[in-house]
Amino acid sequence: MSKEDLPASEEDTPPGASDADRFTNARANRSTALFEDYTELIADLAEEFGEARITDIARRLGVTHPTANKAVLRLKREGLVVSRPYRGVFLTEAGAAMAQRVKARHRLVVRLLLAVGVPPEAAEMDAEGMEHYVSETTLKAFEAYLAGKD
């Protein structure tokens, strides 16, 4: 799945867009957030343990085993993960690229929140949600702001 296959982000919503356009964009981003959270976690588990097991995914996300299994099946259909019999779940190249993008966005949002005085624990928690909804235009503005502070 390439970035072009993902739902449009805010920068794709033209100025003066209707409320319906903005709400449609927000719903699409919520759908993408699920894929992003799972690929990011699978990458973390694979780095830590060499693979991501459904049990570990469910425990870390605070969901049931069937819920995690259903989400992983969706990721498989989207070409983001593969699984091996009697082994765990592994990211495809597309899944790894998605996880890497999400981690980079997360780090940038945390850096900005820390720069404006948000306490570290709150910055981490808030960034977890914000990272999925912030547009590329806004991310570039964050980067420019942070570059000016260095």
Residues 46-63: tens digit of each pLDDT: 999 999 999 999 999 999
Residue 8 is predicted with a pLDDT of: 43
Domains in the chain, please, with CATH? 16-149 (1.10.10.10)
pTM to 2 decimal places: 0.76
| Among 138, 71, 145, 57, residue whose Cα is nearest residue 105 | 138
Query: Maximum Cα–Cα distance for the chain, whole Å?
Result: 52
pLDDT attached to residue 25:
58
* C-alpha count within 13 angstroms, C-beta hemisphere, residue 28: 16
Question: What pLDDT, in 10s, does the model give residues 26-36?
Answer: 555 566 888 99
Confidence at residue 133, expressed as pLDDT on a 0 to 100 scale: 85
Q: Rounded to 5 degrees, what are φ and ψ at 84?
A: -120, 140
Helices and strands, counts by H and E, the chain: 6, 2
SS3 52: strand
